[in-house]
Amino acid sequence: MRTRFLPSVIVASSVIVAAGCGSGTGAAPAQPSPALAASPIPPVKNPRDVAAMSRRPCELLTAQQATALGFDLPPEESDGLFGTLDCQWRKTTRSRQLVRSVDLSMFTNNPTLEVGYSKDHRGLPFFELTEIAGYPAIVTRTNADIAHCDIDVKTAERQSFTVFYQSQEQALKNNPQQSCEVGKQIAAAVLMNLPPKS
């Protein structure tokens, strides 16, 4: 039985913000509530359509890209979340021991980055709000000693994909943070293969 990491499903819960209005004269104007502040996730300038690829996840990396990144072919497709499909690329030894793998998941109607940013991430060994090839991304690691990295990339409003990269290689075990650099390269390659959103 194959063991693989499934990126956590992010479900936004309803938040009700009650704003009171003062009715006196001479009072200082009310300061905006932090809850009403603009989202730290910037808008996407050139949207790309994850939904168009939701049934073709293994086309998110071309055979040439996957080979250049050091993965075996062919990749393996599996059921994803919310009616999408996922894809996994692996590199194994001749004895079938896992060397490295990447799982790609897609979200077609979910504010993944906004909800992910709003969660308490103080306990994570690594959390970064960044951009990959001009697209907003959140990069996280849940274990400081293991070479794995989770990257969520927003491609359009309520559309995103997740790259989960992990490595068993000694070089990355000595520098597990390097797994995020490899994961970012994979995410940039995926972005090249997503069609523009009309």
pLDDT along the chain (198 residues), means of 10: 38 33 42 54 94 93 95 94 89 90 93 86 90 96 93 95 91 87 96 94
Confidence (pLDDT) at 84: 82
Residues making up the chain, counted from first to last: 198
Q: How far apart are CA 144 and CA 177, in angstroms?
A: 8
Residue with tokens 């086309």: 59
Name the DSSP class of 194.
S
Question: Domain 51-193 falls in which CATH fold?
Answer: Protein Transport Mog1p; Chain A (3.40.1000)
Each residue of 84-120: b (16+ CB within 10 Å) or e? bbbbbbbbeeeeeeeebbbbbbbbbebbbbbebbbee
DSSP H helices in the chain: 63-68, 112-118, 170-174, 178-193
For residue 92, CA distances in Å to 95, 185, 187 come to 8, 20, 21
Q: How far apart are CA 191 and CA 181, in angstroms?
A: 16
Phi first, then psi: what are they for 48, rounded to 5°? -120, 145
Confidence (pLDDT) at 26: 44
Confidence (pLDDT) at 121: 83
CB atoms under 10 Å from CB of 40, counted, come to 11
Confidence (pLDDT) at 122: 82
Confidence (pLDDT) at 22: 39
- pTM, entire model: 0.78
Domain boundaries, the chain: 51-193
Residue partners of 170: CB distance under 8 A and separation at least 6:
none
Q: How far apart are CA 163 and CA 189, in angstroms?
A: 11
Confidence (pLDDT) at 169: 84
Confidence (pLDDT) at 38: 66
Q: How far apart are CA 35 and CA 123, in angstroms?
A: 22
